[in-house]
Amino acid sequence: MADAQKVSAPVTLAQPGYTYQKREDTRWWEVRDAEGELVCLTVYRRGAREAVRRLSA
């Protein structure tokens, strides 16, 4: 029974989803997917957060 509890967690939760971070020395925020590919650029952090929220839904 202890083995069943260890396996029950889905692997997809261990992988990060979409992330956002500020580009250095610019005003742009970038949104990237789990593989690190650029999805979009926004001027404001609030826009980046909203893009991540909508993509993750």
Lookup: tokens for 11? 């692997």
Ordered by start, the domain boundaries in the chain are 16-56
- The pTM of the full predicted model, rounded to 2 decimals, is 0.68
For 56, residues 6+ apart whose C-beta sits below 8 A from its C-beta are: 17, 18
The residues facing 38 across adjacent strands are 32
Q: What is the pLDDT of residues 11-57, one digit of tens each?
A: 334 456 999 999 999 999 999 999 999 999 999 999 999 999 999 88
Number of C-beta neighbours around residue 44 at 10 A: 11
Start-end of H helices in 1-57: 2-7, 45-56
